[in-house]
Chains A and B, each alone.
Chain A
Amino acid sequence: MIPEIGHFALILALCVAVVQGILPIYGAAVGNSALMAVAKPAARGQFLLVLTAFCCLGYAFAEKDFSVLYVAATSNSQLPLHYRLAAIWGAHEGSLLLWTFILTIWMFAVTLFSAHLPDATRSRILGVMGLVSIGFLLFMLTVSNPFERLIPAALDGRDLNPLLQDPGMVIHPPMLYMGYVGFSVAFAFAIAALLGGNLDAAWARWSRPWTTVAWCFLTVGIAMGSGWAYYELGWGGWWFWDPVENASFMPWLAGTALVHSLAVTDKRGGFKVWTVLLAIMAFSLSLLGTFLVRSGVLTSVHAFATDPKRGLFILAFLAVVIGGSLALYAWRAPRVGLGGSFAMVSREGMLLANNVLLVAAMGSVLLGTLYPLFLDALDLGKISVGPPYFDSVFVPLMTPAIFLMGIGPLAQWKKASLPDLAKRLQWAFAVSVVTALALPVVMGNWTPLLSLGLLLAIWIATTAVVTLRERLAHVSGGSFIERLASVPRSYWGMLVAHCGIAVFIVGVTMVKGFESEKDVRMNVGETATIGDYTFRFDGTQDVVGPNYTAARGTFRVSLDGRETTVLYPEKRRYSVQNQVMTEAAIDPGLLRDLYVSLGEPLDDGAWSVRLYHKPFVDWIWGGCFIMALGGALAVSDRRYRIAWGRQKPAVPVSTGTARRKVA
C-alpha cells in the first residue's frame, strides 16, 4: 500500500509540475497576476508530494519490503538501517528520485526567499524549474519507476553493492546532487531573465547567493567523493579522471566561472551575455553528467545499470532543455547589449581572462571525456583518454588562472595600472619565488613541478595578505579588530575561498612530490619501513560483521622506536553478492597519512601488503572544505540578509536593524 502511495504522489507531482511549468510563464507573458500566483503554491505542493514519495521509498527500505523491485535489488535483510536508507540512492531509480526531491527542495527554497523579486520574475523562475521537474518525473514514471512491484516478493534482497556500504554513501550523493541541482536555480534565473528581457544588475544580484550556495555544495560533494575513493578503493589515489568524476568536475568549473562572472555583472553591469551563457552551461553540464552516468555511452568505474531506452529518454530531454535554452539564448541575447567598457588591465579584464581559462579547462575536460566516444562513433577505433592527457592540459591552463587570481582582487575596476600593480605586489612575488625555490631543496627533492605548485600556493597566500592589508588601510579609525570586522563578509569569503585553493595546491603538490609506496610480502612478525615509519605485521584475525566476514590485519606502526599507532586494515567478503572488498586502514594527520591495505593472502599467514606514506594528502580535501567555507561566508554577507529580511515584515526588529546598518 505504502509504495502505491509513493507512486501516486509522483503522478500527482507530475500533474502539478505541468501546471507549474505552463501557467505562471504564460501569466508572466500576458501580465495575468492570477496565473502568476499559481507558481508559489504549485512549487510548495510539488515539494510536499515528492517528499511523500521519498518517505514512502524510505519506509519500504526501512521495513525491508522486498515486494518492491528496487528495494529487493539494492538492499538485504542483513544490511544495517543507515545503509538501507542510503540505498534509496544506491542505484538508478532511487537516485533519480533523490534528484527530483532535491530539485523540489530548491524550488521550495525559492518560494521562501523570493519575496523581494518582482512577481513576473518569480513566476518565470518557478515555471522554468517546473519544466525541468516535468522531465525528471516523466523519466521516473515511464522507464525508471522506483516503486515497481516484484510479485511474488523476493525472500531476501540482492544487497547493496559493497563498494557503496560506506559512510561516504550516506552523505556524498546528497551533497553532490544539492550542487548539481542547485545550478538549476541560476539556470532558471537566467532563462527567466532571457524570457523577460531584463538582464540587469538586479538579476545578477539575485542569482549570486543561489549560485554560490550550489557551488559550495558541489565543492563539498566532489571533495567527499574523492576522499571516499581514496580510502575505499584501497590504492591510495584520490582522483581518476574517470568520466563520472569529470561529469561532476565540469559543472564545477563552469560554476566557478559563473560565480566570478556574476560578480562583474552585479558590480559593473558587464559580462551580461557571458554570464547568462555560463548559467546555462553550468546546469547543462549537470544534466550531461546525468546522461553520461546513466546511458552507458562511456565506460566508467561508476557502472549504473544501463538501458538504451533510458539513455534515449535522457538524450531527448537534454536536447529539449539545453537545445531549447541555447536557442532562446541565440534569439534573445543579441538584444541585451554590452555592459560598460573596460581596459585589458583592470579587474574586469582579469576576471574575463580567468573565466576564459576556466571555460577552456572545462572544454578540455569535456573533450577528453567524450573523445573516445567521438572516435568510436566515427569508427576510428577504440581508445581511452587517461590522466596523462588531463594532467598535461590542466597545469598550463590553471597556472595563469591562479597567477591572475592573486592580482585580480587588487586591480581597480575599469582600468588599472600595470606598473602600480607590479609595485604593490613585488614583495609578494619575491617571497613566493624564493620560498618556492628554496623549500623543495631544503626538503631534499627539487623538481620543477614541485616548485611550480609551491609557487602558486604561496603566491595566493601572500597576495591575499597584501589584499587584506590594503583593504584595511582604506578603513579609517577604530582598533585593528574593529577594522577587521568592518570588512564585509563577502570579501572575507573571497579571500578564504582563494586560500582554500592554496591549501589544495599544497596538498596535491606535496603528495605528488613526496609520497612513497611499497608493495611487500609480509610474514607474521616481519617489519617494513616507509617514510621513516616502521610497520610490523602481527598477523590477521577473522572477524564477523553484520553482513560480511573479514580477515583483519594488525599493523603496529612506530617512529624512532616509539609506537605511534596500530592500524587494522580488512579484507572483507560480503556474503550476499560474494564480493571481496579491501578496507584500507589510515592514520590521518595534518602533515601526513599512513595508509595500509591488505592485498592477497599468501601461504603460512603471510600477506601481500600495500603501504603508503602520503604527506599533506588531507590538505587536498581540507582545501576544498575551506573553499566551500569561503562560499558560505560570502552568502552570509549582510546585503543578502537585508534582502531576505525584507520579505518578513512581520518581524520588524530584524528589518529595522538591517536598515540601520545600511544607513
Chain B
Amino acid sequence: MNRFLLPLSIFIVVVVFLGVGLKLNPREIPSPLVGKAAPDFSQPQLYDPATVFSPADLKGKVWLLNFWASWCSGCRTEHPVLMELAKSGEVPIFGMDYKDQRDEALAWLKRWGNPYPVVGVDDAGRVGINYGVYGVPETYVIDKQGVIRYKQIGPLDPDTVAKKILPLVKQLESQ
C-alpha cells in the first residue's frame, strides 16, 4: 500500500470509532446483577415497622424496586414520574427508603405523595450494598421469577419510562 495513504487510513478508522462512540454513553455502567436473581432481604416496613417487606412475597409479579431517600434531590426530580406511573397502574413500584430518618421520610411522602404500596426501610444501607446501589435514586425492574431485568441509575424520566420500562414490563408480563 502507498505509504502516503497510511495516515489517512488510520484517521478514517479513528473517525469511524469516534462516530460509533458518539452513540454510546461512557457514563452508563452495566450492572452485573442484570439477569441474576434479585438479592433477598427482609426489612421492616416504613409505615408498619412490625411487619417485614421481602421480595419473596412478590413472586409471580412484575414489579419495580425504587431506592430513594428524603435527603436526595434526584428523588424529588423523579417523584412526579413515579406518581404518574403509580396512578396508571401499569406496574407496582415498591420503595426502599435508603439511609434515611423515619420521621423525615414519612413527612416527605406526606408532602409529595406516596407512589408505593409498600416501603421497606434500609437504614443501614445493607440492601443497597447487595443491590450495588451507588447513589439514590436507582430503580430495578424485577420479573415474575424474581430476576433483575433492568437497572436505572439516577432519576427516571417520562421518556425512559415510556420507551424502556413499560415495554419491558409488558414483555415480562406476557411471559
* Nearest A residue (CB) for B10: A326
A239 contacts the other chain (CB 8 A): no
B50 contacts the other chain (CB 8 A): no
Using A315-B15, A326-B8, A330-B4 as known contacts, say yes or no to A382 and B30 having CB atoms under 8 A apart. yes
- Nearest chain B CB to A256's CB is how many angstroms away? 19
Q: Is the CB of B30 within 8 A of A373?
A: no
* B17-68 interface with A by 8 A CB criterion: 17-27, 29-30
A318 contacts the other chain (CB 8 A): yes
Q: Is the CB of A334 within 8 A of B4?
A: yes
Contact residue among B11, B17, B29, B30 (Cβ-Cβ distance under 8 Å from A323):
B11
Using A326-B7, A330-B5 as known contacts, say yes or no to A315 and B26 having CB atoms under 8 A apart. no
Q: Is the CB of A376 within 8 A of B26?
A: yes
Contact residue among B5, B15, B22, B30 (Cβ-Cβ distance under 8 Å from A308):
B22
- Nearest chain B CB to A363's CB is how many angstroms away? 9
A174–B4 Cα gap in the complex (Å)?
Answer: 35
B175 contacts the other chain (CB 8 A): no
Q: Is the CB of A333 within 8 A of B26?
A: no
- Nearest chain B CB to A568's CB is how many angstroms away? 31
Using A299-B27, A323-B15 as known contacts, say yes or no to A330 and B2 having CB atoms under 8 A apart. yes
Q: Is the CB of B11 within 8 A of A322?
A: yes
Q: Is the CB of A329 within 8 A of B24?
A: no
CB-defined contacts of B5 to chain A, threshold 8 Å: 330
CB-defined contacts of B8 to chain A, threshold 8 Å: 323, 326-327, 329-330
A296 contacts the other chain (CB 8 A): yes
Interface string of A251-291 (1 = CB under 8 A from B): 00000000000000000000001000100110010000001
Q: Is the CB of A297 within 8 A of B27?
A: no
B14 contacts the other chain (CB 8 A): yes
Q: Is the CB of B15 within 8 A of A374?
A: no
- Nearest chain B CB to A355's CB is how many angstroms away? 15
Q: Is the CB of B7 within 8 A of A312?
A: no
CB-defined contacts of A327 to chain B, threshold 8 Å: 8
Contact residue among A281, A298, A323, A330 (Cβ-Cβ distance under 8 Å from B26):
A298
Q: Could you tell me the dominant secondary structure of chain B's interface residues? A: helix
Q: Is the CB of B4 within 8 A of A297?
A: no
A327–B18 Cα gap in the complex (Å)?
Answer: 19
Contact residue among A326, A333, A370 (Cβ-Cβ distance under 8 Å from B17):
A370
B161 contacts the other chain (CB 8 A): no
A295 contacts the other chain (CB 8 A): yes
- Nearest chain A CB to B82's CB is how many angstroms away? 24
CB-defined contacts of A377 to chain B, threshold 8 Å: 17, 20-21, 24
- Nearest chain B CB to A83's CB is how many angstroms away? 26
A311 contacts the other chain (CB 8 A): yes
CB-defined contacts of A319 to chain B, threshold 8 Å: 15
Contact residue among B7, B20, B26, B30 (Cβ-Cβ distance under 8 Å from A299):
B26
B12 contacts the other chain (CB 8 A): yes
Q: Which of B14, B17, B26 has the most CB of A within 10 A?
A: B26
CB-defined contacts of B2 to chain A, threshold 8 Å: 330, 334
* Nearest A residue (CB) for B21: A297
- Nearest chain B CB to A336's CB is how many angstroms away? 10
CB-defined contacts of A373 to chain B, threshold 8 Å: 17-18, 21, 24, 26
A273–B7 Cα gap in the complex (Å)?
Answer: 12
Q: Is the CB of A295 within 8 A of B26?
A: no
Q: Is the CB of A297 within 8 A of B30?
A: no
A539 contacts the other chain (CB 8 A): no
Q: Is the CB of B29 within 8 A of A315?
A: no
Interface string of A370-384 (1 = CB under 8 A from B): 101110110000100
* A112-133 interface with B by 8 A CB criterion: none
* Nearest B residue (CB) for A578: B73
CB-defined contacts of B23 to chain A, threshold 8 Å: 308
CB-defined contacts of A298 to chain B, threshold 8 Å: 21, 26
CB-defined contacts of A311 to chain B, threshold 8 Å: 22
- Nearest chain A CB to B127's CB is how many angstroms away? 25
A577–B58 Cα gap in the complex (Å)?
Answer: 41
Q: Is the CB of B18 within 8 A of A297?
A: yes
Q: Which of A280, A330, A334, A382 has the most CB of B within 10 A?
A: A330
CB-defined contacts of B18 to chain A, threshold 8 Å: 291, 295, 297, 315, 318, 373
Q: Which of B8, B12, B15, B22 has the most CB of A within 10 A?
A: B22
A382–B30 Cα gap in the complex (Å)?
Answer: 8
Q: Is the CB of A372 within 8 A of B26?
A: yes
Contact residue among A326, A333, A374 (Cβ-Cβ distance under 8 Å from B11):
A326
CB-defined contacts of B22 to chain A, threshold 8 Å: 295-297, 308, 311-312, 315
Using A372-B26, A377-B21 as known contacts, say yes or no to A318 and B15 having CB atoms under 8 A apart. yes
A124–B25 Cα gap in the complex (Å)?
Answer: 41
CB-defined contacts of A299 to chain B, threshold 8 Å: 26-27
A299–B8 Cα gap in the complex (Å)?
Answer: 27
A121–B9 Cα gap in the complex (Å)?
Answer: 29
CB-defined contacts of B26 to chain A, threshold 8 Å: 296-299, 372-373, 376, 382
* Nearest A residue (CB) for B73: A578
Interface string of A293-332 (1 = CB under 8 A from B): 0011111000000001001100100110011001101100
A273–B5 Cα gap in the complex (Å)?
Answer: 13
A599–B60 Cα gap in the complex (Å)?
Answer: 48
Using A330-B2, A376-B26 as known contacts, say yes or no to A323 and B20 having CB atoms under 8 A apart. no
* A4-43 interface with B by 8 A CB criterion: none
Q: Which of A280, A308, A382 has the most CB of B within 10 A?
A: A382
A652–B20 Cα gap in the complex (Å)?
Answer: 60
CB-defined contacts of B19 to chain A, threshold 8 Å: 315
- Nearest chain A CB to B28's CB is how many angstroms away? 8
- Nearest chain A CB to B152's CB is how many angstroms away? 17
Using A295-B22, A376-B26, A377-B24 as known contacts, say yes or no to A323 and B12 having CB atoms under 8 A apart. yes
Q: Which of A296, A297, A312 has the most CB of B within 10 A?
A: A297
- Nearest chain B CB to A129's CB is how many angstroms away? 21
A263–B17 Cα gap in the complex (Å)?
Answer: 35
Q: Is the CB of A370 within 8 A of B24?
A: no
* Nearest B residue (CB) for A372: B26
- Nearest chain A CB to B143's CB is how many angstroms away? 24
* Nearest B residue (CB) for A318: B15
Interface string of A347-377 (1 = CB under 8 A from B): 0000000000000000000000010111011
List 9 other contacts, CB 8 Å, given A323-B11, A330-B2, A377-B24: A291-B18, A297-B21, A308-B22, A323-B15, A326-B7, A326-B8, A329-B8, A373-B18, A373-B26
Offer 12 A-B interface pairs, CB within 8 angstroms, sorted by A: A280-B7, A296-B25, A315-B18, A322-B11, A323-B15, A326-B8, A330-B4, A334-B4, A372-B26, A373-B21, A377-B20, A377-B24
User: Which 3 residue pairs across A and B have the least CB separation, nearest first?
Assistant: A297-B21, A326-B8, A377-B20
